[in-house]
């Protein structure tokens, strides 16, 4: 079995939606104001790892559907790119869904899915 390296290097992979919902559940934040680079470097430092890269993945709403969030994620992605984070985005596609429950009531909700056929890689 190979010997464990003395100096450990890490690349951090962060899913933006999962991070947002986890932070919201844990701390009550309702706005994605996190700093993924600082988070990655803190986790690595706490484990004595050398952080050699950060990758961030998120879906971005279409400007026609949610202009504010489209602008927010475009600007946040650009800033993260300037900080050395490699940002991967995909457009979100929204669909209205309706579900009929066993008691006969109908509930409508909105879902967001990533379009598998389109993926934009931004190296900023």
Name the domain count of the chain: 1
> What percent of the chain stands above pLDDT 70?
84
What integer pLDDT is reported at residue 50 of this predicted model?
97
Are the beta carbons of 55 and 14 closer than 8 angstroms? Answer: yes
pLDDT in tens, 10-27: 999 999 989 999 999 999
- Other CB atoms within a 10 A radius of the CB of residue 55 amount to 15
What integer pLDDT is reported at residue 94 of this predicted model?
66
Are the beta carbons of 19 and 36 closer than 8 angstroms? Answer: yes
Q: What b/e readout covers 77-96, taking b as 16+ CB neighbours within 10 angstroms?
A: beebeeeebbbbbbbbbeee
Whether residue 2 is contained in a domain is answered as no
pLDDT in tens, 88-117: 999 987 666 777 888 888 877 655 554 443
When pLDDT is averaged across residues 54-58 and rounded to a whole number, the result is 97
Domain span including residue 97: 8-122
Are the beta carbons of 124 and 81 closer than 8 angstroms? Answer: yes
Could you tell me the pTM of the whole model? 0.73
Whether residue 87 is contained in a domain is answered as yes
> Cα(12)–Cα(9) distance, rounded to whole angstroms?
10
């Amino acid at each position: 079995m190979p010997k464990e390296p003395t100096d450990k290097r890490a690349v951090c992979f962060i899913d933006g939606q999962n991070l947002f919902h986890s932070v919201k559940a844990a701390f009550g934040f309702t706005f994605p104001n996190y700093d993924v680079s600082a988070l990655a470097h803190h986790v690595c430092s706490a484990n004595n790892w050398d952080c050699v890269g950060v990758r961030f993945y998120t879906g971005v709403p279409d400007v026609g559907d949610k202009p504010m969030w489209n602008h927010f994620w475009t600007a946040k992605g650009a800033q993260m790119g300037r900080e050395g984070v490699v940002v991967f985005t995909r457009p979100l596609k929204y669909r209205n869904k309706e579900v009929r429950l066993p008691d006969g009531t109908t509930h409508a909700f909105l879902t967001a899915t990533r379009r598998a056929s389109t993926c934009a890689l931004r190296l900023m």
